[in-house]
Structure 1
Amino acid sequence: MDKLDRGMLLELMKDSRAPVAALSRKLHASREVCNYRLARLEKSGTILKFVTEIDAEKLGYSGAAVFINIKRGRSAAFESFLRTCPYVSWVAELSGIWNFGLSIYAKSSQKLDEEFYRICEKFREDIIDYRFLLLKENDFFYEKYFGAMPAKRKETATGHEIDSKDRLLLKLLAKNSRMGAVELAKKAGITPQTAGQRIKMLEKGGVIRKYSILVDVSKLGLYQYGIFISSKDAGAMKKLSAYLHQHPKVSYLAAYIGSTTLEFGAVVENPYGLRDILQDIGEAFPESKVAEISLFQKEFVSVGLPDCVFD
């Protein structure tokens, strides 16, 4: 992987809907070269998916994080189930305390409980242990893989009522953020101009938060860890959250309802880099305590919302 590949990945992490012409200008490479490199990054498995980050709350949905241990002989069947489950988003295979981490979405905490119960029923003979946490907020900072900081999001009230056409556009974009306006319009039964206008309104109102990509970090020569850190001091936790948002090696951050624990991702070139990060945090926030650490083996379902959110 050379400078051009890395530059292209960074630009796509900032905006995965950027047209090839725009990538060509920013990267000072011809369109033909950009098209070739983009196709190669997909074929090699470096780019796993073109992602649209959508605010589930604005669609009336809530999320929960599930960490689970499955019997070794049933891991493949569990993974296969999660890949096609209509209410599951973001799945990672882990090494550490848990085998898998995943997110599920529903319209209420009761529905979340029912969905998780269906998973438990299907794999009741295979589940060893689990943890279920109601999601309060989460952010992803994929640009940090390349030493860049994410841009601050801007959101304004639009008064736009989300209808069935908007939901269909969002569903299509959740599957592939690079789908063009003509194809989106055709599938939604509207004109390309109308599709573009609707997407702009969804972006302006913060329903669409960002267009990015899911990548295989191992192909970038990186390791990603998931870390839970806690503190009984609520004020210190707010400061810690702000600190982690700005930390150049923190790839995501999640907070959970009713919990004094934060979860964050750390991306490093080697395990010693993780030690340095944790030592820095420990010195800046001595009252905090690292509760657990897991190594990401692979992410195989992206943070794009599942189909149930758009029905």
Structure 2
Amino acid sequence: MTDIEITSADRAIIRALQHDCRMSNAQLADKVGMSASACWRRVRLLEEAGVIAGYSAIVDADRAGLGFHAIVHVRLSRHDRGAVQRVMSELSSRAEVVECFATTGQYDYHLRVLCADMAAYRRFLDDFLFRLPAIESAQTNVVLEDMKRRIVVPV
């Protein structure tokens, strides 16, 4: 990855792609007021620099059968490198954990967890999370309603 200076044209490209990453390069170039070749080069540069990290579809979790949504606050009992690496490796391997944040404060990690239902979540806790030796505690907040989810980065 290389560092690049983000220009106003780059910001326009990023905003357009965040809105619709399936548009053709010609459509994108037209939308941001560039030639198709210049636009293509700039998109490739943004990708190579890691500014554009990837492309994906936005999936409605409820409609995909994942109706249980929780924020789980995790505290570790040990913070040595080996314990932390094992916890991170294990959390990264689980599909239910869709986001994980290491933070300051009372808890070490905050997880966003999606499961089919409460029974599946209980299995996630009993068969996985509570079996990790460095986990001291986990507090669950069940998400009642998704009030605002912004996946767009405000460039």
Q: Same fold (TM over 0.5)?
A: yes
2:99 aligns with 252
Identity of aligned residues (%): 21
Shift of 1:259: 6.3
Residue 184 (structure 1) aligned to one of 13, 23, 28: 28
1:228 aligns with 73
CA contact (8 A) 1:226 1:296 kept: no
Shift of 1:296: 5.4
Between the aligned partners of 1:238 and 1:197, the Cα distance in structure 2 is 38
Within a 5 Å distance, the mapping from 1:47-126 to structure 2 comes to none
Matched residue SS, 1:293: strand
CA contact (8 A) 2:70 2:140 kept: no
1:290 aligns with 138
TM value normalised by structure 2: 0.82
TM value normalised by structure 1: 0.44
CA contact (8 A) 1:237 1:260 kept: no
Aligned residues: 151
Between the aligned partners of 2:57 and 2:150, the Cα distance in structure 1 is 9
Between the aligned partners of 2:142 and 2:79, the Cα distance in structure 1 is 25
Shift of 1:260: 4.5
| 1:263 to 1:277, Cα distance in 2 relative to 1, 3 A | same
CA contact (8 A) 2:74 2:135 kept: no
Shift of 1:264: 1.4
Aligned-partner residue type, residue 240 of structure 1: V
Gaps of at least 5 residues in structure 2 are none
Pairing 1:209–2:53 present: yes
Aligned-partner residue type, residue 292 of structure 1: T
Shift of 1:170: 0.9
| 1:239 to 1:259, Cα distance in 2 relative to 1, 3 A | farther
Pairing 1:239–2:83 present: no
Shift of 1:297: 2.9
1:56-97 CA distance string (max 9 Å, x none):
xxxxxxxxxxxxxxxxxxxxxxxxxxxxxxxxxxxxxxxxxx
Shift of 1:278: 1.1
Between the aligned partners of 1:214 and 1:196, the Cα distance in structure 2 is 24
Within a 5 Å distance, the mapping from 1:132-143 to structure 2 comes to none
Between the aligned partners of 1:257 and 1:180, the Cα distance in structure 2 is 42
Shift of 1:232: 4.6
Shift of 1:192: 1.1
In terms of fraction of residues, the more helix-rich structure is 1
| 1:284 to 1:249, Cα distance in 2 relative to 1, 3 A | same
Between the aligned partners of 2:64 and 2:140, the Cα distance in structure 1 is 25
| 1:249 to 1:301, Cα distance in 2 relative to 1, 3 A | closer
Between the aligned partners of 2:26 and 2:149, the Cα distance in structure 1 is 26
Shift of 1:242: 2.0
Shift of 1:301: 3.1
Within a 5 Å distance, the mapping from 1:30-41 to structure 2 comes to none
Between the aligned partners of 1:299 and 1:218, the Cα distance in structure 2 is 14
Matched residue SS, 2:50: coil
1:160-216 CA distance string (max 9 Å, x none):
332221111112222222233222212322111111111111111111112112222
Q: CA RMSD in A?
A: 2.2
Shift of 1:258: 5.9
Gaps of at least 5 residues in structure 1 are 1-155
| 1:245 to 1:296, Cα distance in 2 relative to 1, 3 A | farther
Between the aligned partners of 1:214 and 1:245, the Cα distance in structure 2 is 20
| 1:282 to 1:227, Cα distance in 2 relative to 1, 3 A | same
